[in-house]
């Protein structure tokens, strides 16, 4: 099988490429990534010399390039490429629409032209909006995105749906909850808090810290996408999540405790505008139809993740420079 993976130098995309090449020794992967601030070729160092992996630096909005790449015998497209950070989307929505909506449409057109056999759109539970104290997101929950990021992901999802309904393109959409694990860019909650705690700097918690996210170890997300590629019924949406709802405060306290740091580092700051209160995924369909089951409990996953960041300090300290620093000052300057 020949896969075109977009965004494969980012957090989840690179974990997915490593996972697939390890599991399927005869699969070929064309990995397309624009290498924005979030793309990092260091994530792919271990497969540098693997002949089954070809990296192409390109933007998914580049129509001619996507046409050329998909014309090279691609069977399956897995679209991870996206602007992914909610806070950035609040500051600068423009690029979110361009990549997450228009970029998806460019890929869909190329996939349609070349008759690929499966297009998997990697989406998010955030397209469903927010939950109150009870209930879970199912695949039939109406879309109600609240941030420019989630609205742009919902826009991409709706185009994927439309290309299936209108043109018969064989698609699946996956909607996963919050991922954590190796190679996550240190702007996201867990790696940000680990790096702050290690530096004995204040840990910025938005609002009252009681917003809830449903956490899944990244490898478990990869195994679910693998099953969707091979067994997902065409046209279907699959929710992915491991029933691990935690408050942000709990996450931060866990990190501080594991690192032997004081809770006095916690710093409550101004809330994120439009901050979704709670996410919770009902993964029943993915589990029963595809036989998927997460392998990592939250306790082992967070322990392994903290250890990875301790063992790979160079990876994230290199990131924390240049353009990232500039963004960081803009984002937190007025809050701390
Ligand atoms: P990330 O920001 O770490 O990686 C995104 C990658 O896409 C980067 O390598 C970047 O260079 C690349 N990219 C961005 N714009 C591009 C463009 N125009 N053309 C080509 N490449 C481009 O994101 P992530 O956390 O790995 O998320 C990957 C996907 O999974 C996204 O679609 C996101 O919406 C979805 N998702 C993420 C989570 C999560 O918790 N992180 C949960 C569910 C779904
Ligand atoms: O649910 C899936 C989504 O999870 C993905 O679609 C997104 O790409 C991914 O970024 C993530 O979105 P969140 O907004 O949930 O993740 P983030 O790490 O930005 O924030 C997690 C929670 O922590 C959220 O409630 C906001 C809070 N937070 C975040 C940061 C960065 C803080 O309290 N302080 C912070 O400094």
pLDDT, tens digit, for every residue of 34-74?
999 999 999 999 999 999 999 999 999 999 999 999 999 99
DSSP assignment of 80-122 equals --S---HHHHHH--HHHIIIIIIIHHHHHHHHHHTT-SEEEEE
- 80 Cβ below 6 A of ligand 1: yes
The two tokens of residue 170 are: 């064989």
Cα 201 from Cα 269, distance rounded (Å) = 14
Picking from 2, 4, 15, 3, the residue whose alpha carbon sits closest to that of residue 223 is 15
Q: Report whether residue 151 contacts ligand 2, using a CB cutoff of 6 Å.
A: no
pLDDT of residue 335 exceeding 70: no
Report the atom number in ligand 2 closest to the C-alpha of 176. 2
Does residue 320 contact residue 186 with C-beta atoms inside 8 Å?
yes
Query: What is the 8-class DSSP label of residue 62?
Result: -
The answer to whether the complex's ipTM is over 0.95 is: yes
CA 279 to ligand 2: nearest atom:
1
Reply yes or no on whether the pLDDT at 158 is more than 80: yes
Residue 118's pLDDT is: 98
Give the containing element (helix H, strand E) for 326: helix 322-332
**Res. 144: pLDDT tops 90:** yes
Classify each residue of 127-154 as buried b or exposed e, where b means 16 or more C-beta atoms within 10 Å of its C-beta.
Answer: bbbbbeeeebbebebebebbbbbbbbbb
324 or 234, which is more confident?
A: 234
Whether the predicted pLDDT of 334 surpasses 90: no
Question: In the chain, where are the structural domains located?
Answer: 2-180+217-240
**CB 248 near ligand 1, within 6 Å:** no
Residue 92 in this model has a pLDDT that exceeds 60:
yes
- Supply the residue whose CA is at minimum distance from atom 30 of ligand 2: 189
pTM summary value: 0.97
**Which one of 146, 188, 251 would you pick to mutate in the ligand 2 pocket, going by the greatest count of ligand atoms within 8 A of its CB?**
188
Q: List the catalytic residues.
A: 125-126, 149
What are residue 174's DSSP bridge partners?
Answer: 122, 238
Report whether residue 191 contacts ligand 2, using a CB cutoff of 6 Å.
no
- Give residue 330's pLDDT: 72
Query: Is 12 a pocket residue for ligand 1 (Cβ < 6 Å)?
Result: yes
> Of all atoms in ligand 2, which is nearest to the CA of residue 276?
25
Given a cut of 60, is residue 323 above it in pLDDT? no
State mean pLDDT over 253-268. Answer: 98
Task: Give the β-pairing of 53-57 and 76-79.
Answer: unpaired
Q: Please check the confidence at residue 331 and state whether its pLDDT lies above 80.
A: no
Q: How far is CA 160 from CA 71, 87, 212, in A?
A: 20, 25, 29
> pLDDT value at position 329?
66
159-191 confidence digits (pLDDT tens): 999 999 999 999 999 999 999 999 999 999 999
**pLDDT tens by residue, 298-312:** 999 999 999 999 999
| Residue 280 neighbours by CB under 8 Å, 6+ apart | 131, 135, 136, 137, 177, 212, 214, 241, 245
Domain 2-180+217-240 - what CATH class?
Answer: alpha beta
Average pLDDT, the chain: 96
Please tell me the distance between residue 75's alpha carbon and the centre of ligand 2 in angstroms.
Answer: 33
What's the pLDDT tens digit per position in 269-281?
999 999 999 999 9
First to last CA, the chain: 50
Return the ligand number nearest the Cα of 156.
1
Alpha-carbon gap, residue 268 to 220, rounded angstroms: 31
pLDDT(207) > 90 = yes
* Look-up of token digits 């990534």: 33
Check residue 321 and give its pLDDT: 72
Indicate whether 336 pLDDT > 50.
Answer: no
Ligand 2 pocket mutation pick from 37, 88, 145, 206 by most atoms within 8 angstroms of CB? 206
33 C-beta closer than 6 A to ligand 1: yes
């Amino acid at each position: 099988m020949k896969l075109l993976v977009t965004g494969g130098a980012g957090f989840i995309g690179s974990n997915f490429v490593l996972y697939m090449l390890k599991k399927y020794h005869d699969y070929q992967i064309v990995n397309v990534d624009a290498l924005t601030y979030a793309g990092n070729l260091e994530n792919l160092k271990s497969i540098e010399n693997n002949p089954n992996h070809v990296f192409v630096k390109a933007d998914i909005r580049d129509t001619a390039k996507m046409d050329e790449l998909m014309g090279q015998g691609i069977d399956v497209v897995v679209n991870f490429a996206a602007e992914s950070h909610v806070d950035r989307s609040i500051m600068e929505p423009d690029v979110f629409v361009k990549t997450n909506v228009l970029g998806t449409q460019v890929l869909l057109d190329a996939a349609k032209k070349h008759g690929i056999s499966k297009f998997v759109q990697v989406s998010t539970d955030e397209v469903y909006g927010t939950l109150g104290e009870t209930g879970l997101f199912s695949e039939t929950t109406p879309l109600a995105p609240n941030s420019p990021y989630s609205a742009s992901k919902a826009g991409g999802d709706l185009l994927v749906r439309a290309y299936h309904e209108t043109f018969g393109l064989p698609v699946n959409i996956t909607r996963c909850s919050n991922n954590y694990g190796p190679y996550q860019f240190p702007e996201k909650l867990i790696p940000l808090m680990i790096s702050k705690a290690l530096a004995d700097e204040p840990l910025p918690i938005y609002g009252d810290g009681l917003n809830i996210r449903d956490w899944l170890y990244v490898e478990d997300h990869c195994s679910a996408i693998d099953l969707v590629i091979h067994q997902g019924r065409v046209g279907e949406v699959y929710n992915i999540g491991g029933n691990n709802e935690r408050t942000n405060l709990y996450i931060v306290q866990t990190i501080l405790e594991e690192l032997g740091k004081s809770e006095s580092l916690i710093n409550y700051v101004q809330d994120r505008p439009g901050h979704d209160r709670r996410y919770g995924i009902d993964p029943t369909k993915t589990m029963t139809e595809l036989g998927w089951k997460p392998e990592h409990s939250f306790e082992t996953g967070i322990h392994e993740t903290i250890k990875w960041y301790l063992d790979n300090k160079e990876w994230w300290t290199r990131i924390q420079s240049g353009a990232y620093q500039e963004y960081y000052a803009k984002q937190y300057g007025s809050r701390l």
